[in-house]
Structure 1
């Protein structure tokens, strides 16, 4: 029914959906089975599954698994389950777009929507294949911008752990490295959850790409010293005007890059674009638990360094305004924000 597939962070084999527990990396590679929608929702919320493209893919396959295992489920129940998956995280629009594809919102006649296991398997696999191909194309587009010997700063994790396939910003880095451009990557640790320190370094080590891990507050010093020639980051939702939400701290990096005249690029597939969202002011920002700021946890265990009742501010994302963006690298090409907005309007016009 659903074809087997396997990528760095997600696989479907022998009718089992499994995800790599990102909380345990880099020291422990542990796969967890997702048998129910509730399993996948828990994995997404606890960040065992993270990265906007991967979240969308994982939820889509989880919805197929539910339909496969509940052949008598009626349309209403399937839609209710899809809504639960859709709401697992509020910012990553890939999740919403892919679930909408699974429940076939583009089909105006509800009675003709096909929620059979065979149809859901077809849709889920097409989503996986599309995300892999989009990663490949944006990686190639972005690698053409990278010059020989550049120092590249990246924030959070945007590779094969966060997507099926090459990755987004880290996919560009991979493609540039494979092209022999002798780049060096500077990796923000990315507080509070250390996705750069734990995950991006894990991926760079696997491919033997030269890198240096830094604390988030060291980027300005490196820029001033001329060590960084380009910034590549991912995105969880891109508004119609080119503003985009990404892991908290991205906005700070964009401000620093602007001051030091360093090109700053957001890299994402078309599934991350939200044409219905006019600007970054309209992007919902997820607020997370105070414990993530009060200490740290991972394969090494947990530690708390602040009083347990200390007041915290812990948004998962911030918004980078289009005025700070050199270009957006999509699977359809490279756009400054003015041309991006025109492109989105053109696509909307073609769909209407």
Structure 2
């Protein structure tokens, strides 16, 4: 009998070169159905990012890199200026899918740099360099998550209770996840963590995705409603909080899934360390503070209709549905990156992290 594939056996994001496609897990169908979809048009890729079929800052960056490579691959011209003009249009189109996660524009800008830096080469050579860069972005994502996991694991001990919000797991990256990386690496070492997952209203990424992938991997995981985090922390069941991040402002304010700031405030009240797991690609020095981070507004129906057989609010009621909130830097115990852990004051420590990254990449 053929063994049933585990969700962790699938690649979150992949390039199918033969069929000219971006291949992803449709995360809107999880956990009830594992559907692998192949996206061949820019409209399909844009929709997949906007509709959260692929989501999580690193995975969005991986998908965008592959997506813009496929757009470039399909351009039928040998003229550099024509090629670059059409490439730029495709880049701006994909970049418009979601505004808050900095990895989307970061990955697309990195791909554009390949085109600009190699304009003396043939179009065929540029296309090959774009393919290599897209693959490199994904491979770096795996390395980054593993390093974040190693640094995060140094902050906890066997048997600890951990809490996370939303999904910053393997389904949000190429492998390991960011916030879940310490959990997976600890599980491999027999740490026997007890993990609490906030359900994460209104899209339930914690319930549908994090609880699913952690349980499929054999971790001890307990699902809680968002409004239960105070209860489990007050009971002393949580020793540390790990969350992901979509953008880090220069002062250390961080944007993550809506409800993250509530967890941070509660953790501060009960003296539970609150750690943000953030690849250096999410650090945005063009954004001085969290106040300047553009917060995506989502459709009303996600709150009042999406998970119900019948509408669960009065017709015509006003709905406020921001996708993210900003956690102030004074609530954050540390920002865990692939080059180390930044501590307050973040205006200084983040610069040191980035300087270390630049030095090692020289």
TM-score, length of structure 2 as denominator length = 0.89
Counterpart of 2:331 in structure 1 is: 324
Q: Give the structure 2 partner of residue 296 of structure 1.
A: 306
The one of 101, 105, 114 equivalent to 1:96 is 105
SS at match of 1:101: helix
The Cα shift of 1:346 comes to: 7.2
Counterpart in the other structure of 2:26: 21
Q: Give the drift of 1:11.
A: 2.1
Sort the Cα spacing of 1:119 and 1:105 in 2 relative to 1 into closer, same or farther, 3 A.
closer
Equivalent residue pairs, number: 342
5+ long unaligned stretches in structure 1:
1-5
Separation in structure 1 between the aligned mates of residue 237 and residue 353 of structure 2, nearest angstrom: 39
1: CA distance, partners of 2:204 / 2:84: 41
Aligned mates of 1:40, 1:302 — CA distance in 2: 29
* 1:44 equivalent among 43, 49, 53: 49
Structure 2 Cα separation of the partners of residues 35 and 202 of structure 1: 28
Distance 1:147 1:170 in 2: 15
Find the aligned partners of 2:330 and 2:191 in 1 and give their Cα distance: 29
* 1:33 match: secondary structure: strand
User: Which residue of 196, 199, 212 maps to 1:186?
Assistant: 196
User: Contact (CA 8 Å) 2:260, 2:325: kept in 1 or not?
Assistant: yes
Q: Does 1:206 align with 2:216?
A: yes
2:59 corresponds to which residue?
Answer: 54
Q: Tell me the residue number matched to 2:163.
A: 153
Residues 3-42 of structure 1: CA deviation (Å, up to 9, x unaligned): xxx9532222334321111010001001111101111110
Residue pair 2:251, 2:346 contacting (<8 A) in 1 also: no
- Residue 235 (structure 1) aligned with residue 233 (structure 2): no
Distance 1:330 1:190, change over 3 A: same
Partner residue of 2:261 out of 238, 251, 259 = 251
User: 1:191 and 1:346, CA in 2 relative to 1: closer, same or farther beyond 3 A?
Assistant: closer
Match of 2:283 in 1: 273
The corresponding residue for 1:9 is 12
The equivalent residue for 2:174 is 164
Relative to structure 1, the CA distance from residue 270 to residue 30 in structure 2 (aligned partners, 3 Å threshold; closer, same or farther) is same
RMSD: 2.1
Partner of residue 69, structure 1? 74
Query: Contact 1:240/1:341 (CA < 8 Å) preserved in 2?
Result: no
Shift of 1:96: 0.7
Cα deviation for residue 113 of structure 1 reads: 8.1
Of structures 1 and 2, the one with the larger relative CO (CA 8 A, separation 6+) is 1
Return closer, same or farther for 1:113/1:128 CA change in 2, 3 Å cut-off.
farther
Does the Cα contact within 8 Å between 2:264 and 2:331 map onto a contact in 1? yes
Instruction: Identify if the C-alpha distance between structure 1 residues 275 and 97 changes in structure 2 by more than 3 Å, giving closer, same or farther.
Output: same
